[in-house]
């Protein structure tokens, strides 16, 4: 039977305002002790936003991890005392200038086995441009719109981060299904 491992010790190392690394020592079922390094991250939102013509609204930007310019789903951190939905609405407006009255919470997909992040995935439908971008000091974004078919090709190619949010959105829209023909 699989059981939770016994935690022995935790040590946190602050690396930036957004992320720390936490070394956690566990006693494994066989008695060995091992250290696992976790990305200690907070709560974030990622939004698959679409306009009334079913064009996916993306934020073209440089991403330091892959060292590439990518067409990304808008998103970002959740501020203290802010709900995930309020954060999603704020991030969409700030990064794209778009707003929506039709929001669907798609779920909270896990980042990876070594991250503590909580990601809220949203679908925003019938978005309308209402303002200019209001970017943070480290954000440099160009808004891009793509038809669903091109967005699907992008997901298949792996050319974005937060791909699970895109897949969840396409599934929620009925654009992809699990039906066997």
Contact 50, 56 (CB under 8 A): yes
Query: Does 82 share its domain with 127?
Result: yes
Phi/psi at 125 (nearest 5 deg)? -105, 155
Query: Does 34 share its domain with 49?
Result: no
Query: Does 34 share its domain with 47?
Result: no
What pLDDT, on the 0 to 100 scale, is given for residue 173? 94
The answer, yes or no, to whether residue 93 has pLDDT greater than 90, is: yes
How many domains does one find in the chain? Answer: 2
What pLDDT, on the 0 to 100 scale, is given for residue 181? 56
- Closest by CA to 74, choosing from 53, 47, 37, is 47
Query: Does 54 share its domain with 134?
Result: yes
CATH code of the domain containing 101: 3.90.79.10
User: Residue 78 — pLDDT band, cuts 50, 70, 90?
Assistant: very high
User: Residue 41 — pLDDT band, cuts 50, 70, 90?
Assistant: confident
The answer, yes or no, to whether residue 167 has pLDDT greater than 60, is: yes
More confident residue, 95 or 180: 95
Question: pLDDT of 60-76, one tens digit each?
Answer: 999 988 999 999 999 99
Q: Kindly report the pTM of this predicted structure.
A: 0.90
Query: Does 11 share its domain with 100?
Result: no
Establish if 179 belongs to a structural domain.
no
Query: Does 71 share its domain with 18?
Result: no
Question: pLDDT of 152-166, one tens digit each?
Answer: 999 999 999 999 999
Establish if 78 belongs to a structural domain.
yes
Query: Which domain does 15 fall in, by range?
Result: 6-40
Between the alpha carbon of residue 94 and those of residues 14, 43, 157, the distances in Å are 27, 18, 27
> Two tokens at 158?
């792996």
Establish if 1 belongs to a structural domain.
no
């Amino acid at each position: 039977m699989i059981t939770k491992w016994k935690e022995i010790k935790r040590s946190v190392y602050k690396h930036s305002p957004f992320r720390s690394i936490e070394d956690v020592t566990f006693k494994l079922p066989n008695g060995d002790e091992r250290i696992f390094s976790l990305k200690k991250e907070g709560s974030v939102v990622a939004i698959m936003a679409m306009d009334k013509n079913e064009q996916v609204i993306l934020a073209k930007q440089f991403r330091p991890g892959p060292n590439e310019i990518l067409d990304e789903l808008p998103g970002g951190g959740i501020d203290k005392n802010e709900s995930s939905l309020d954060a999603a609405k704020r991030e969409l407006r700030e990064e794209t200038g778009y707003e929506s009255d039709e929001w669907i919470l798609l779920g909270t997909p896990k980042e990876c086995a070594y991250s503590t992040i909580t990601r809220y995935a949203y679908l925003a439908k019938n978005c309308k441009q209402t303002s200019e971008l209001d970017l943070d000091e480290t954000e440099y974004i160009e808004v891009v719109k793509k038809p669903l078919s091109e967005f699907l090709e992008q997901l298949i190619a792996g050319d974005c981060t937060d791909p699970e949010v895109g897949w969840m959105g396409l599934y929620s829209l009925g654009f992809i299904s699990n039906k066997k023909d």
